[in-house]
Amino acid sequence: MNPESLPRPYPRRTLLRTAGLAAVTAPLLSACVTSAGKEEKPAQAGGAKTVENPLGVKADAPLEVVVFKGGYGDEYAIKAEQKYTAKYPHAKVDHKGLQKVGEAMQPRFVAGDPPDVVDNTGAGRLDIATLVGAKQVTDLAELLAAPAFDQPGKTVRDTLLPGVIEDGTFDGSTVTLNFTYTVWGVWYSKALFAERGWTYPKTWAEMLSLCETIKKAGIAPWTYQGKYAEYINDPMLTMAAKAGGLDLVKAVDNLDPAAWSQPGLKQAAEAFAELAGKGYLMSGSEALSHTEAQAAWCQRKAAFIPCGSWLESEQKDVTPAGFDMVMGTVPSVSGSDKLPVTAVQAASSESYLVPAQAKNVAGGLEYLRILFAKESATAFAQASSTLPAVAGATDGLTLSSGLGSVRDAVTAAGADAFNYRFRTWYAPLAKAVDDATAELVNRRISVADWSTRIQKASDSLAKDSTVKKYQR
């Protein structure tokens, strides 16, 4: 989701990973149902499919677009609407920029009268898992197979960064398309490192050695957003994935009975326990909010901080001139890692969908084809300093230090970008992991206890017949 969107006190990163855990919990109707018990679907506006009109848009059919108006605003969406109007001048476009998408849209879904496109983002957004289960969202297969709007010879599917399609796929059907791309890593000041002659480490052994040097210089090596332990979970779970490979990630997401005792996870937990044990976490970090920890880091009180790629945008009003923040990839835990050091944990966000009961499904799909065009994505990157989900959107642009480092990390990772999905699928497991990691890095439990606690939570979910299970 839009990392600028989260109201305090929620950490912006939290809801990036929890698209299936939204606050709107009222039941949704699976369809408008007649007294005879049959689905009564609205008539769909459609036209003839041609090379110029691959999705069969009816040229004069109205289009209603609802966009979450958070930190990114909605100007980027309005520009895409203007392109839609330029192509279909007889189509009236009704734009709504909202703060509380779920609150406004839930009654309309229940009534069988949703808009044609919804940016289902922000706190309190609609629960995508509920929408999927109620068959309220359109399968986007036709859109993904359609020609890209401004890249001849490519389909829409061909233009997206790794993992974007998977992030919007439930039970084999892609039902959402996410517009932004978030990468998680370890951030530092390029200027500070240049002044001190420090080099960003590629291995954990190098990290610990550098941390000792940093500590002797009177600077805390690390801080983190202590009130939200998920922040420090990210580099730890990234390290685990590098050590154990994608099989480790799948075992975690699939609630495998031995998932959390895998060597890669234990190695990563031991690494971060050692980071804490050697006193390399800034004193008092546990009590800090995300804004407090990040402010301390910007003041050079700590050299490293874990965060997602929204950090630069979030800190723009408090970052000192010349700080030059950059994101480094998580170091390798050993020489036998199954993924390269360049691998990154990444996920798409800012989730767009086309309701199944929309009056103009074809128009909704066409709007997304335009929104996900390279030109639209490039303009968004320039305006927001955020990486879009469209590959190559930042090519040729002069980027800020932070966004440039994120772009370079994604390029270097190539196909080695991955993401855990348990946060999206299973809220109780996400909480168990965060709680256990908070205890671990504050030296209150051992690695063995950490593993046992989380595995117990995973097993409990696996045995709970009331919880829908997902597989990858």
Whole-number Å distance between alpha carbons of 30 and 25 = 14
Q: Long-range contact list for 313-316, CB < 8 A, 24+ apart?
A: 313/3, 313/4, 313/71, 313/384, 313/385, 313/386, 314/3, 314/4, 314/12, 316/385
For residue 19, what pLDDT is reported?
41
For residue 17, what pLDDT is reported?
45
For residue 45, what pLDDT is reported?
57
Which is it for the CA torsion 30, 34, 36, 41, positive or negative? negative
For residue 470, what pLDDT is reported?
87
Q: Are 289 and 225 in contact (CB under 8 A)?
A: yes
Q: What is the pTM of this model?
A: 0.81
**Residue 179, H or E segment:** strand 177-189
Walking along the chain (472 residues) 10 residues at a time, the average pLDDT comes out as: 35 43 43 38 69 96 94 91 98 95 95 97 81 93 98 97 90 94 96 98 98 98 95 97 98 98 98 98 96 96 95 90 97 96 93 97 98 96 90 92 95 94 89 97 97 98 92 88
* H helices present in 175-303, as ranges: 190-196, 204-216, 230-244, 246-253, 263-277, 290-298
For residue 256, what pLDDT is reported?
98
φ, ψ of residue 392 in degrees (nearest 5): 80, 5
For residue 4, what pLDDT is reported?
37
Whole-number Å distance between alpha carbons of 293 and 350 = 25
Q: What is the amino acid identity at position 134?
A: A
For residue 128, what pLDDT is reported?
84
Question: What is the per-residue burial (b if ≥16 Cβ within 10 Å, else e) of 330-368?
Answer: bbbbeeebebebbbbbbbbbbbbbbbbbbbbbbbbbbbb
